[in-house]
Each structure stands twice: as C-alpha cells, then as structure tokens.
Amino acid sequence: MSEGDAPKPAKRNNFLRTVLAVMWSFVGIRKSSGFQEDIANIKPLQLLGVGVVMALLFVIGLIVVVNLVVTS
C-alpha cells in the first residue's frame, strides 16, 4: 500500500440500501442526491427483486388486516 492510498470508506450493506430505496419509492419522497446515489450503487435486477417481494408482503399484510377486521 503506498502513501497516496486512502482507506476506502465502509460501504453500507447493498441489500439494506436496496430495501431502503424501495421503501422510499413506496412513500414517494426522496432527496435528489440520495436518488442519484441509489441509481449509481444499486443494480436494476436487485431493485426489481426487492420491489416485487416488498409489494407482495404489502398486499399480504393488507389481506391479513382486512380479514382481521371483517372477522371481528
């Protein structure tokens, strides 16, 4: 390692970054700088996979809540 080499900053967990990006998109608000950072660091296939899974979990959660309300 030479003198000019600076230690690389620790990257956040890429899966966590993808989950947070999908959650921000569900809410519909996001800083432009955060959005640009997500675009640069997240692969589209990861984003698609996490988005589909989270949307499925959201729908299942809604079904459970509706069933709980209707049965009581």
pLDDT in tens, the chain (72 residues): 555 565 555 455 788 889 988 998 888 888 888 888 888 888 889 999 999 999 999 999 999 999 999 997
| CA–CA distance, 71 with 30 (Å, rounded to integer) | 38
20 lies in some domain: yes
The answer as to whether 3 is a domain residue is no
Q: What domain range is 46 assigned to?
A: 14-71
CA atoms of 56 and 60, how far apart (whole Å): 6
Per the structure, how many domains does the chain have? 1
Structure tokens at 9: 């900053």
Quote the CA–CA distance of 31 and 27 in Å, as a whole number.
Answer: 12
